[in-house]
Structure 1
């Protein structure tokens, strides 16, 4: 569905609901006014009935005259019943002859007998119809001689409300129609720039940050469009800067002589520079994980699982391959991120085969010097000490020769010790 049509539909619905709500509130006020007016008219009739009945009650009860007044009131279409009771609540005359002589002791009758003004109650008859029951006091001067009772059915109220209801329905229909048309026109006028803005946003989403929206309005939509244009310009500059930085990083990443491998926290390879592919022999065999890149030729130390699961920031490691020729790769695994976010690993390594061989040769040379030179010199010096113990048996020339030999052996021993110390360092 077109988003603009959806907006128009929603605003039209809200407008209709608002208009209908206002009309319903006004209709309620009108109905209440009409109902109150009818109740006022009923009150006037009840008071008139009370005054006309007074002459038939005082000074002497005239049943025929009283019954005449009751029958005259019942002839009106809206009147359901009419009756007159004395001051003690006994029915003197009623449109239903069977009620004559009854004593009315219900709460409303008792309240009406004690009231000095017209009282009203509403109730449902046995057929479910609404009945308005009014009671008007009958006074002769200050003396109360009885109460006039009138019952009005709801037919009169319905008839009175029929014409206003039709007018209200007609007004509601016309107002709803005009509100919908007006809302659609207003929404179309307000949102006329939104299709351009939506198309430009889609272009920007595809990476085209040169797109601009031409809007001349000064309203909120125009402000939004100008903000969008400013955003695309800023994003274009930012994207250009990021592209340049990306190219620089790519050049550094690809041109460095050390092997570089970038992985996610699970060891899946994200980037591998040419040096790393050459060192691992993966120029023609791409790998997706560290385990795949090193297996089965290389023996990692420590194990890859220990590197990936370890919490150390920097973890030294070594990859050793024995066949077809010895190759030793040495480097470190840098854990990216911080204590809360683990972004992955950057492995930096180089060919350390010559270094390891040099270390092995140094250890072998140290062993040779230690065992092949220092041991014989120690034996020779020991024997010289034994000979020096018998110097009294030698002539002066022989003793001089022994001292010279011992001095040279000690020089050679010191030289061997220095050589061993230097090689060990």
Structure 2
């Protein structure tokens, strides 16, 4: 049995080998596509707003602008208030918190920062002091119409000033800074230009002075009288009076016035100054001079007679009442009683009551001696009392006189009292009646 196999036919889709080696035909390059034009944006259609919407937008923008301005002004006012703040017044912090609607913590922080900045900004700069000194030297040699200000002077001589300033030593720059500090202190001590500044400075200073004076008087047990008044009419501060109770009594008793009246007179005198109308010179009469002489003599006697060591005289204590002057009997009534003596009486003037001294020239001589204290009172040497006489044994002793008693009269101790020893009643002497008032029988008889 035999078998035969036929080869399988090649698939029709397979390419021929010769055809596979041939290069492929070039394809044509496609043309670029035409650029399409960019479509224009659609026009914005205007929105139509109602009248209410427009008014609302305007109100909102206006309110925002006002709020922004208010915040700016508030911050500016706060900065100004912080600069003008006085650390010695604690109430101001709370007032500022209420005014600017800030918390106390925030205000204390701002206050501390503001005071620190002010303190740092006021530190002396030697360059400013150096340029100021050079400007003063330059302007002193120039006429008034050619003098310069600090800005123009520094611009014109900037290079030369810098060169000279660089050659200064540390000690020289320190001296310039110290001079600036001294100048600042002198300016601070000067009175403020504004009336409010003067009132504020005066009130704060007077509070400190009053407390210091009162504490010193209490601590040292002393008395004080202080007046503080203004010297300009434009000033607004009130007069301040510091007085202790004892001084008030002294002024009332000695000068017949009060501290309030004295301080008002002082303020009027300081404000008027030389413009016050001159007072008319009062003419002194002889009675005024007599009164002054008596006053000087009596005041000196009262002063010396009231001292304790002058009151002891002849082993006893004299009266503490005001001493009475006795010109006619001056030695026993004044010298011996009060232990004082009048020294320096003019020799040609008789020692008598000033009202009896004539002529007037001698009275004026005595008044001049009393005013100059050439005639004054002095404490006399103490006079010892005479010793009592001793009684000897041989001397007869004196007996007391016995009072006589009469029978029938009883005394205090039950004894009889003598009627003759009793004081007799004085008979009243009557004048004879006149003829008009006498009885007719008496006239006829």
Q: Give the alignment's TM-score, normalised by structure 2.
A: 0.19
Q: Give the alignment's TM-score, normalised by structure 1.
A: 0.19
* Structure ranking higher in helix proportion: 1
Relative contact order: is structure 1 or structure 2 higher (C-alpha 8 Å, sep ≥ 6)?
A: 1
